[in-house]
Structure 1
């Protein structure tokens, strides 16, 4: 079964400096039908204006993954990490027993556009931890590249949950086949452009819940299509 979560149906908050769209219930936006999907709790598509950002704030017991689409995002946290992540970088914060961090647009002239993803961990109270890695365009072009996983295989980022996260950048006509076990589900998030999944066309910002579909065929319908695929227990 394939259920589309249309981009225009997402929650929306605009604070001037931040324009954020929420796939699942978040902040003041609440939809009892979209509280998450399995262990996937948040997918926020954020655009932050130049020189603006989130001041220090706390998290706990959450795997937080940041995937930058355009621009540069500066990060600092209470563990002592400080970095600027750009397109191709994947960042993971295991908030565990508690961390504080800040996120700012690293540019004084251009906006930053990114996806922030929250996944429930398999254990509460973990020691906070941080990891980031860069994945080249060539690694994602025309194929599903594993960027995060529960076991850190294939040089992916390790997350504390039984989830495989893949990224792909596709040209029009590129086809990907993905088989999934009957006891697992998929969530496809379209970051840019459009694809068809088992004949159903979905566009930028759309999310797709896929259950009881053992064979899945994805075909890009435009150039520079970018997707994230979550394989969830």
Structure 2
């Protein structure tokens, strides 16, 4: 299919720093793949495991929407806006870095690792006032259906960002199907399989595979085993 790209789990960049074991779906830090710099407005998809008591020291960002989704354990957050929060499994955190912020992220637990997805999306406007938001999701809302966790609209379900993007989580039993209709013309979809096997528009995907598709208006999704997955609809131009 000419309007698709498949990123198998074992083709991702990998860096094991001891305290941090990171897999990169797109070029990041010392891992560079000219064919995997971004997918539309999606710039970073990092699958991170942080050792007990370890984390990222204070560092700066600007003009990026940064989304963190803990998959296991907790993450303690401190930033230059004065936020001191802990995000737990089941939460979603977003920072609009805008005109510039500094932050740190640590695993506060002395005896448990933290696993999280770190996602960067290019914003649709530059130098906005930095902002922070986190919410706690109800996991029942993704049981055999698609749960919206992010949108461009502050009044919609989930967190919001400065971009015409919509993220959904699904936790499907085997054989459950769904159709996803893209919300904005010109957008594409990048799906990331958290666990299990999923078929999307005929493409078979396994745990930690990524699948990008564009020039389409809808997705046919089927869980071929019990599965969890993240759908990221984003503009193909940024």
Q: Structure 1 length as normaliser, TM-score?
A: 0.95
Aligned length: 232
Q: Distance in 1 between matches of 2:84 and 2:185?
A: 41
For structure 1, the residue ranges without an aligned partner over 5 or more in a row are none
Q: Report the RMSD for the aligned CA atoms in angstroms.
A: 1.3
Deviations along 1:105-150, one digit per CA (max 9) or x if unpaired, are 1211111110000001111111110001111111111111111111
Aligned to 1:143: 145
Aligned to 1:191: 194
Q: Distance in 2 between matches of 1:154 and 1:174?
A: 26
- The answer to whether residue 211 in structure 2 is matched with residue 208 in structure 1 is yes
Q: How does 1:1-233 map to 2 (within 5 A)?
A: 1-180=3-182, 183-223=186-226, 225-233=227-235
Q: Distance in 1 between matches of 2:129 and 2:218?
A: 38
Cα distance change of structure 1 residues 197 and 164 upon mapping to structure 2, 3 Å threshold: same
Q: Distance in 2 between matches of 1:18 and 1:63?
A: 22
Q: Distance in 2 between matches of 1:22 and 1:85?
A: 22
Q: Structure 2 length as normaliser, TM-score?
A: 0.93
For structure 2, the residue ranges without an aligned partner over 5 or more in a row are none
SS in 2 for 1:41: strand
